[in-house]
Amino acid sequence: MLKGLLRSKLFVPGARPELFAKALAGDADAISFDLEDSVPESGKADGREVVAAFLRSSAARDARPLLMVRVNARDTLHFEADLRAIALPGVAVINLPKCASADDVIAAATILEAAEAESGLRTPIKLLANIETPAGLRHAAAIATAHPRVIGLQLGLADLFEPFAIERRDEANVHAVMFAVRLAAAEAGVLALDAAFADVRDVEGYRREAAMARRLGYVGKSCIHPSQVGIANDVFGASADELAFASRVVEAAKEARVRGHGAFRVDGRMIDAPFLARAEALLNAGRAA
């Protein structure tokens, strides 16, 4: 269900409550309240309380977008406090930053399970694991399969590239990492979400990177400014032609099954199980979006 709702995920700084309601009123498919990078160390506790208070409000309960929270990493003093504070009704997904191994996922799931039991939550909060370190990239498939709560992997290129002088503007570098994370997600049967793009003024750069991610099977891209939301929704939304072709594939598959055929043609193309699966996923995502 979530795959069709994550074309765009807008980060909102946890220390900027004046932006919360505006973000909910926008067109992003998901809003990720950020307790990590956008909140200074001295304001972590206050940011956590401000976000938790807003998530308990009627505005959050009635929100259209999917609600997420990016907590602080496991190796910080704030990890458990963040998870316990935002284990609230309406929070669908927790974004785990800097996941380096399956142990990080298990630690988060264990804390969440206890917090949900204490607060009476019956719907388990899902986890979106950030792949943004060399160790995380190496263990991406293990992270994706670490726990049933994991719905996907999110790529983080700033933390993965900048400390090691890897050029972000080199599309070969970006493609290599995108491809590796996408295959790790595919192995686990979870979604892949593309990274944020820091240069808000470079509209075409954002679009190019998003288009590359879509060609690799990513479901959406992170946004750090509302101006990027429309681009992500456009790039990751299925076109009318794509949906029409997918519909023809699904209908042709029904006829083929009646005839006992495992493979068939649509518009001159040979179609079998993998192509049918893609068509069905595209139609499901289109309906959800």
Model confidence, pTM: 0.86
Highest mean pLDDT among 91-100, 231-240, 251-260: 91-100
The reported pLDDT for the residue numbered 105 is: 98
Total length of the chain: 289
For 148, the token pair is 């049933």
Q: DSSP for 19-33?
A: GHHHHHTSS-SEEEE
Residue percentage of the chain with pLDDT more than 70? 93
Q: How confident is the model at residue 289 (pLDDT cuts 50, 70, 90)?
A: low
Domain ranges, ordered by start, for the chain: 2-236, 240-288
CA–CA separation, 209 and 194 (whole Å): 9
Cα angle 104, 107, 108 (rounded to 5 degrees) comes to 90
How many other C-beta atoms lie within 10 A of the C-beta of residue 76? 16
* pLDDT for the residue 3: 45
Model confidence over 158-192: pLDDT tens digits?
Answer: 999 999 999 999 999 999 999 999 999 999 999 99
Task: Evaluate if residue 288 carries a pLDDT over 70.
Answer: no
pLDDT digit string, tens, across residues 202-244: 999 999 999 999 999 999 999 999 999 999 999 998 766 676 6
Share of the chain above pLDDT 90, in %: 76
- The answer for 131, left when phi > 0, alpha when psi is -120 to 50, beta otherwise, is beta
Per residue in 18-55, pLDDT tens? 999 999 999 999 999 999 999 999 999 999 999 999 99
What does CATH list as the number for 2-236?
A: 3.20.20.60
Short-list 29, 25, 32, CA closest to 11: 32
Mean pLDDT of the region 103-128: 96
Round to whole Å and give the CA distance between 152 and 174. Answer: 19
Residues 6+ apart with CB under 8 A from 163: none
Q: What is the pLDDT of residue 187?
A: 97
